[in-house]
Chain A
Amino acid sequence: MLKYANPTNFLALAARLIPWLAGAAALALAVGLYLTFFVAPDDYQQGASVKIMYLHVPAAWLGMMCYMVMTSAALGTLVWRHPLADAAQKAAAPLGAAFTLVCLVTGSMWGKPMWGTWWVWDARLTSVLVLFLIYLGLIGLWQTIEEPAQAARAAAILTLVGVVNIPIIKFSVDWWNTLHQSASVFRLGGPTIAPSMLWPLLIMALGFTLLFFALHLMAIRNEILSRRLRRLSITAAAAEDPEVAGEAAL
């Protein structure tokens, strides 16, 4: 019975992997933070506020990467009917939403010193906002449909529809942004990044990615356990009537 053997194998695998991943993530983040605050030079224009970039850009990458993970999980659910795929997809959505939220808020906090307002409808920030809304929609879908298998298929379809639309959204937001080019907007990111600033960025991104995978495995484990609990309580409820003989036959 591959279908049932799989989750238990996964739990054993996860139990081994999670401590390592968590440790590596902590290490990478520590090194990244150290580099960011003590080694990387300030930007000649933006001054020290560029340090927020080391948080903002990795968070944006993670938001995108998480959606790619969900897309492959959606394919796993719909095409190969892999039992763990929908658990992986459901586990990834809140993480994706959290990372995009971090990206949006840190972007706004970086924008305040630059443009004097908390939020600017910059092309990239707006696309990330739409991505954040898509994540919220997916999480809402899972909360509404109780039956796991049905919810998984619905969410998988919505994710795939989303992945087709994200490039279109990106393009149309850029076009929308340039069409209304107003003086107060200038693109985030600035010139090519000097090597001394690139390294901390890559290490921070690595740290975030490791953190994501550690949390993702843990969330999948939770999802498997909660489904097992649901199944157990349904069967237990049905089998709960020793006194009333005829019940099971009904």
Chain B
Amino acid sequence: MPPVEARSPNTQALQGISAKGLRVDRGGRAIVRGVDFDLRAGEALLVLGRNGAGKSTLLRALAGFLPLREGEVQLDGGAEETSLAEQAHYVGHADGLKAALTALENLQFWARMLKCASATALSPEGALEQVGLARLGDFPVGYLSAGQKRRVALARLFVAPRPIWLLDEPATALDVGSQQKFAEAMAAHRAGGGFILAATHAPLGLVGAKELRLDARRARDVGGAA
């Protein structure tokens, strides 16, 4: 049984993630097949493709929600015995927020739930500041707009820092100003040796990001290290 108390993931920083021949099935059908990529610390991977090409499926598989039918993911460096999922943040379409609780309460909960004693963790107030919602801390999340809820969800990344960010269309519902702010945060994360794997249509302003194109029709991996 891996130690329940996860040692802080970045005692030794994670050097790289490499995946070979990944295949993920859903409903008996291979949605994603033959995916390879290799990321070093500080690099980003843009997962591109039409709707239904399997972008979300790939990210969910990496986050451990879906089993990998074939292939495997290698982590080098970072704390042993902790899976990729425990060193990653996943931001999907749902924000993981409880409407009845206030933004601060939600973030305080996630800070303690995804507990990690890393120095770079921001306080819930600081995280809200980072996404420009400092004054909305004690409003019930139910009263916030879709864009604001999205930013509270993104604030979770700062409250319990983890090296890998798995972002599934993070820019939806964000306006220009917030997208710009988040692009800066991503750059800072990469500068600190973090990894970003983002499935997106909108340009995220990720400089020098590798691309992985999943094309549904040919169901063949075209991408590779750009």
Binding site for B on A (CB under 8 A): 146, 233-234, 236-238, 240-241, 243-247, 249-250
The count of A-to-B residue pairs whose CB atoms sit within 8 angstroms is: 44
Contact present for B147 and A247 (CB under 8 Å): yes
B139 at the interface (CB under 8 A from A): yes
Taking CB atoms, residues of chain B closer than 8 Å to A241 are: 132-133, 148
**Interface residue ranges of B93-124 to A (CB < 8 Å):** none
Contact present for B177 and A247 (CB under 8 Å): yes
User: Per a CB cutoff under 8 Å, which of B140, B146, B173, B175 touches A244?
Assistant: B175
B102 CB to closest chain A CB (Å) equals 10
Taking CB atoms, residues of chain A closer than 8 Å to B11 are: none
The complex places the Cα of A196 from the Cα of B189 at a distance, in Å, of 85
Q: Contacts A237-B136, A237-B148, A241-B132 given: A246-B142 contact, CB under 8 Å?
A: no
**Interface residue ranges of B62-92 to A (CB < 8 Å):** none
Contact present for B139 and A244 (CB under 8 Å): no
Count residues on chain B whose CB falls below 8 Å from chain A CBs. 18
Taking CB atoms, residues of chain A closer than 8 Å to B136 are: 237, 240
Taking CB atoms, residues of chain B closer than 8 Å to A236 are: 139
User: Per a CB cutoff under 8 Å, which of B139, B173, B178 touches A233?
Assistant: B139
Nearest A residue to B178 via CB reads A244
The complex places the Cα of A240 from the Cα of B128 at a distance, in Å, of 13
A62 CB to closest chain B CB (Å) equals 33
Q: Mark B134-149, 1 if CB is under 8 A from A, else 0.
A: 0110011011111110
B176 at the interface (CB under 8 A from A): yes
A243 CB to closest chain B CB (Å) equals 5
Q: Contacts A237-B136, A240-B135, A240-B136 given: A245-B143 contact, CB under 8 Å?
A: no
Contact present for A243 and B175 (CB under 8 Å): no
Contact present for B143 and A234 (CB under 8 Å): yes
The complex places the Cα of A245 from the Cα of B180 at a distance, in Å, of 12
- Residue pairs across A and B with Cβ atoms less than 8 A apart, 13 shown, are A237-B136, A237-B144, A240-B133, A240-B136, A241-B132, A243-B177, A244-B175, A244-B178, A245-B177, A246-B175, A247-B177, A250-B146, A250-B173
The complex places the Cα of A249 from the Cα of B177 at a distance, in Å, of 12
Contact present for A250 and B139 (CB under 8 Å): no
Contact present for A233 and B175 (CB under 8 Å): no
10 new A-B contacts, CB < 8 A, other than A245-B177, A247-B145, are A233-B140, A236-B139, A237-B143, A240-B133, A241-B132, A243-B132, A244-B175, A244-B177, A247-B175, A249-B175
User: Per a CB cutoff under 8 Å, which of A233, A234, A250 touches B147?
Assistant: A250
The complex places the Cα of A250 from the Cα of B147 at a distance, in Å, of 8
A124 CB to closest chain B CB (Å) equals 40
Taking CB atoms, residues of chain A closer than 8 Å to B146 are: 250
Contact present for B148 and A246 (CB under 8 Å): no
**Interface residue ranges of B180-202 to A (CB < 8 Å):** none
User: Per a CB cutoff under 8 Å, which of A234, A237, A246 touches B177?
Assistant: A246
Taking CB atoms, residues of chain B closer than 8 Å to A240 are: 133, 135-136, 139, 148
Contact present for B145 and A250 (CB under 8 Å): yes
A72 CB to closest chain B CB (Å) equals 32
**Interface residue ranges of B146-181 to A (CB < 8 Å):** 146-148, 173, 175-178
Q: Mark B48-71, 1 if CB is under 8 A from A, else 0.
A: 000000000000000000000000
The complex places the Cα of A233 from the Cα of B138 at a distance, in Å, of 10
Taking CB atoms, residues of chain B closer than 8 Å to A234 are: 143
Taking CB atoms, residues of chain A closer than 8 Å to B139 are: 233, 236-237, 240
The complex places the Cα of A246 from the Cα of B147 at a distance, in Å, of 11
The complex places the Cα of A146 from the Cα of B133 at a distance, in Å, of 24
The complex places the Cα of A45 from the Cα of B173 at a distance, in Å, of 76
User: Per a CB cutoff under 8 Å, which of A146, A238, A244 touches B132?
Assistant: A244
Taking CB atoms, residues of chain B closer than 8 Å to A246 are: 175-177
Taking CB atoms, residues of chain A closer than 8 Å to B145 are: 237-238, 247, 250
The complex places the Cα of A233 from the Cα of B145 at a distance, in Å, of 12
